[in-house]
């Protein structure tokens, strides 16, 4: 019994330890008297296997913060660590899913070759093996029949599914998503919510989602971090405490969902005022 308790405690300690950590992040644009402080000191911990949402007023630096976490942008002050190591460039294991999915796909490559781009340069990876592996990921996102098409032949929602398949093919330990569903219609957005949750629950990568949509953040995430107005700091981190698996209809009708939605919208409206 004691051994079991120690094992449980060890697993719990691993899950609670910071996996991706932002410490004292400040970001200024410009120089001297013309500089603008966009991020005014953010401390944020992301735990292994969790789904974290980040919301905040328009222009508060949500995307910039995510780019810093990914090693795509350099903070003016502070540090980012991933698995205990400093992030100074995009590290292996972190994959960034861009908002503008159309611009992240290669129009001259077929769908399957776009997905294969994530893995084709791995040592020992043959073209045939890459295609077989990528075909499986296309099946996962419901695009098996579109493998030979080009991105411009697909709808917006289908293009975003291609970028998700490519991100998953890279086998991320952390998936950072920058408003990935904002450019698709409402029904497609709900379908992509269900898809990304299903994949996350099966593969248990760590997920961080930046979004302007409060409903989206509450529906998908375990915790939601709220940024203040520029220069932004973390104003609040809220545990969603919603049961999983989540359902696009039933979950959104739960009293806890409605309560969180009201609370977070109220916080954002105050900060926009």
Q: At what angle do helices 127-140 and 156-169 cross, to 10 degrees?
A: 130
How crowded is residue 191: how many other Cβ atoms within 10 Å of its Cβ? 17
- Is there a single domain that holds both residue 55 and residue 178? yes
Q: Is it the case that residue 192 has pLDDT exceeding 80?
A: yes
Instruction: Output the pLDDT for position 3.
Output: 44
Rounded CA gap, 156 and 99, in Å?
12
Cβ pair 57, 268 in contact under 8 A: yes
Which of 141, 154, 168, 150 is closest to 113 using CA atoms? Answer: 150
Mean pLDDT of all residues belonging to the chain: 88
Q: Is it the case that residue 231 has pLDDT exceeding 60?
A: yes
How crowded is residue 187: how many other Cβ atoms within 10 Å of its Cβ? 9
Question: Phi, psi at residue 149, to the nearest 5°?
Answer: -85, 170
Whether 98 is covered by a domain: the verdict is: no
Each residue of 138-174: pLDDT tens digit?
988 889 999 999 999 999 889 988 998 999 888 899 9
- Is there a single domain that holds both residue 135 and residue 231? no
Range of the domain at 157: 106-171
- Is there a single domain that holds both residue 195 and residue 153? no
- Is there a single domain that holds both residue 31 and residue 129? no
- Is there a single domain that holds both residue 65 and residue 185? yes
Each residue of 58-117: pLDDT tens digit?
889 999 999 999 999 999 999 999 999 999 999 989 999 887 777 789 999 999 999 988
Whether 231 is covered by a domain: the verdict is: yes
- Supply the DSSP symbol for 232: B
Whether 12 is covered by a domain: the verdict is: no
- Supply the DSSP symbol for 243: -
Whether 179 is covered by a domain: the verdict is: yes
Full-model pTM: 0.87
Distance of CA 163 to the CA centre of its chain: 13
- Is there a single domain that holds both residue 179 and residue 198? yes
Whether 119 is covered by a domain: the verdict is: yes
Instruction: Output the pLDDT for position 7.
Output: 46
Phi-psi region of 150 (alpha: psi -120 to 50; beta: other; left: phi over 0): beta
State whether residue 124 is helix, strand or coil.
coil
- Is there a single domain that holds both residue 154 and residue 186? no
Instruction: Output the pLDDT for position 108.
Output: 93
Count up the domains in the chain and report the number: 2
Domain edge (last residue) among 171, 195, 221: 171
% of the chain residues with pLDDT over 70? 92
- Is there a single domain that holds both residue 54 and residue 180? yes
- Supply the DSSP symbol for 152: G
Question: What's the Cα-to-Cα distance from 225 to each of 141, 228, 237, rounded to whole Å?
Answer: 28, 10, 4
- Is there a single domain that holds both residue 163 and residue 267? no
Helix and strand counts by DSSP (H, E) for the chain: 9, 10
- Is there a single domain that holds both residue 166 and residue 190? no
Whether 35 is covered by a domain: the verdict is: yes
Whether 100 is covered by a domain: the verdict is: no
- Is there a single domain that holds both residue 189 and residue 272? yes
- Is there a single domain that holds both residue 134 and residue 43? no
Each residue of 232-265: pLDDT tens digit?
999 999 999 999 999 999 999 999 999 999 999 9
Domain edge (last residue) among 122, 155, 171: 171
Domain edge (last residue) among 137, 171, 205: 171
């Amino acid at each position: 019994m004691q051994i079991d308790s120690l094992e449980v405690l060890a697993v719990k300690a691993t899950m609670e330890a910071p996996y991706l950590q932002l410490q004292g992040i400040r970001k200024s644009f410009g120089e001297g008297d013309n500089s603008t402080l966009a991020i005014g000191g953010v401390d944020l911990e992301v735990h292994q296997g969790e789904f974290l949402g980040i919301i905040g007023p328009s222009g508060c630096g949500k995307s910039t913060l995510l780019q810093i976490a990914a090693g795509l942008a350099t903070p003016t002050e502070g540090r980012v660590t991933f698995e205990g190591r400093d992030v100074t460039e995009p590290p292996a294991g972190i994959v960034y899913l861009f908002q503008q999915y159309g611009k992240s796909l290669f129009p001259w490559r077929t769908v399957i070759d776009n997905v294969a781009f994530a893995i084709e340069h791995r040592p020992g990876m043959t073209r045939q093996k890459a295609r077989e592996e990528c075909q499986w990921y296309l099946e996962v996102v419901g695009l098996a029949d579109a493998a030979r098409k080009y991105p411009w032949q697909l709808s917006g929602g289908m293009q975003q599914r291609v970028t998700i398949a490519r991100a998953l093919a890279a086998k991320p330990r952390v998936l950072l998503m920058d408003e990935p569903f904002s450019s698709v219609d409402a029904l497609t957005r709900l379908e992509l919510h269900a898809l990304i949750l299903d994949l996350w629950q099966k593969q248990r990568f760590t997920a961080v989602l930046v979004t302007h949509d409060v409903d989206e953040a509450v529906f998908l995430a375990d915790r939601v971090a709220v940024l203040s107005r520029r220069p932004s700091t973390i104003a609040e981190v809220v545990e969603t405490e919603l049961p999983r698996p989540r359902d696009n209809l039933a979950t959104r009708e739960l009293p806890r969902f409605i309560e969180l939605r009201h609370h977070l919208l109220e916080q954002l409206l105050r900060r926009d005022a």
